[in-house]
Structure 1
Amino acid sequence: MTQAGNPRRGIEPARLGEQELIRELENIHRSRHDTLLHGSPASLAAHTTRMAQLEEEYLRRHPDRPVSAARTRAGARARTHQE
């Protein structure tokens, strides 16, 4: 799906329903590695921009999302010291 007049950027993340936003995030994260390895500089830049827009919208909607202690800097340090 694309926005009228802007076929390369897709629908504004704020206009996506919750399930659409999650699906877009899953798809963009799944395609990231391939874009990094094989995409042109322009396609990588567009991918990065779109990914940031989608992630920012997710964070705006879910400011109190649960954060795993293991995914923090302190959690990473604790893992390193245990190994």
Structure 2
Amino acid sequence: MTMGIDPKDLSEDDLIRELRQLHATRTDTFLHGSADALANHSTRTEELEEEYLRRHPERQVDPERLREGARQR
């Protein structure tokens, strides 16, 4: 169940803004939110992240974020 605007209907700027907001509030929701709030937060984050990946299947991946990059550090 989508809470808010369907991610497919968001502009690119709105999608990024929503993702940043959810990531910024994750810890607070995890530590202090109710079980329902955490479940809703998780669901919405998953919806938005899936939409971002759908739009950007070839997104840039930082080599330092891969296992090989971590081993080289």
Scaled by the length of structure 2, what TM-score is found?
0.91
Structure 2 residue runs without a partner (length 5+): none
Query: Greater CA radius of gyration, 1 or 2?
Result: 1
Scaled by the length of structure 1, what TM-score is found?
0.81
What are the within-5 Å matches in structure 2 for residues 24-63 of structure 1? Answer: 24-63=18-57
What is the root-mean-square deviation of aligned Cα atoms in Å? 1.5
How far has the Cα of 1:42 moved from its partner? 1.1
What are the within-5 Å matches in structure 2 for residues 4-83 of structure 1? Answer: 9-79=3-73
Who is 1:3 aligned against? none
- Greater share of residues in helix: 2
Deviation above 4 Å: which 4+ runs of structure 1?
A: none
Structure 1 residue runs without a partner (length 5+): 1-5
> What percentage of residue pairs aligned between the two structures are identical?
56
